[in-house]
Amino acid sequence: MANPKVYIHELVDIIGQNRAKYMHHMTANWAPLAAERGMGCLGVWATVGSTGRWPQTVNVWELDGWGHMAANFRRELSHPTHQDPALARWWAEAAQYRSGGLDRVLVPAPYSPTVAEALAQGRGGQVYYHELVSVAPGRARAFLDQVGQEWLAVAGDLGMVLVGAWRTAMVNDSEAVLIWSLADWDAWGRAQAALDAPDPQVARWRQRTEGLALDWRGTLMVPAPLCPLNTGRPL
């Protein structure tokens, strides 16, 4: 059955040494408010600075389709301040820890697990691999189809477990986001060695997607202490 959800992907810039405080504020204080709004937390992660911009976090939230997202936007923005008054205290504290960020609205590939499925199937890990893929315009769906048909099994052989595979909405169908989990750092090291070599299966995959996947950037992440994928419990 296809995944009917839609997602918000948040890339958050952290002020100074406040990353741990922000992740706790997000998971312990925001998540209950999000749950009241019907939003599910897939994960909250700290990015590994040696692999990308730092300090940052990534948050991914699940909503029950476009109607649900529209209702949440209406609730948040139908005020003179363009902010839900019920969240004023939460926003005020969050502003002490973050300076801004970049969000995306994501649509899942049919095989991408929902939050409930990911938790039930134990898809968490000690390390997460975040991929941002630039795709030929109009081809993001085709790229994700190819991932499902040809790359999932190979990635599994490398110790990579799919957490989410999405295309970015509101762009020219030209971007995909994938998150994979790996059991531990040694598992990542082995997988990265195969990706970097690349081994024959990886080389075939890159040849098959040449001209479709135009560029990609991988960033490593580690989960917040209360990240649902690692606790096995929804927030």
Does residue 1 sit within a domain?
no
Tell me the pLDDT band of 31, cut-offs 50, 70 and 90: confident
Residue 183 lies in a domain: yes
**Amino acid letter, 142:** A
The verdict on residue 207 lying in a domain is: yes
Rounded Cα distance between 36 and 161, Å, is 30
More confident call, 105 vs 31: 105
DSSP letters for 102-158: EEEEEEE-TTSPPHHHHHHTT---SEEEEEEEEE-TT-HHHHHHHIIIIIHHHHHHT
User: Which whole-number Å values give the CA distances from 187 to 6, 100, 123, 158, 165, in the listed order?
Assistant: 30, 33, 14, 8, 20
β-bridge partners, 128: 181, 221
Residue type, 95: A
Domain that holds residue 30: 6-227
Question: For the domain that residue 22 is a member of, what is the CATH number?
Answer: 3.30.70.100
Say which amino acid occupies 25: H
Three-state DSSP class for 80?
coil
In a domain? residue 234 = no
Q: How confident is the model at residue 225 (pLDDT cuts 50, 70, 90)?
A: very high
pLDDT in tens, 115-161: 999 999 999 999 999 999 999 999 999 999 999 999 999 999 999 99
Tokens of 6: 């839609």
Predicted local distance difference test score (pLDDT) of residue 83: 80
Q: Per the structure, how many domains does the chain have?
A: 1
Taking CA atoms, 47 is separated from 1, 2, 31, 56, 57, in Å, by 32, 29, 20, 6, 6
Q: Is residue 32 part of a domain?
A: yes
pLDDT in tens, 155-204: 999 999 999 999 999 999 999 999 999 999 999 999 999 999 888 999 99
Give the percent of the chain with pLDDT over 90: 88
Model pLDDT, residue 81:
82
pLDDT per position as a tens digit, 34-60: 888 999 999 999 999 999 999 999 999
pLDDT at 18: 98
Q: Is the pLDDT of residue 235 over 90?
A: no
Quote the pTM value. 0.96
pLDDT of residue 139: 98
For residue 148, being part of any structural domain is answered with: yes
Using one digit for the tens of pLDDT, what is the confidence trace for 79-105?
888 888 888 898 899 999 999 999 999
Which pLDDT does position 76 carry in this prediction? 86
Is 106 inside a domain boundary?
yes
At 33, which helix (H) or strand (E)? helix 31-36
Of 16, 115, 98, nearest to 60 by C-alpha is 115
pLDDT of residue 148: 98
Residues 6+ apart with CB under 8 A from 212: 135, 136, 139, 142, 143, 146
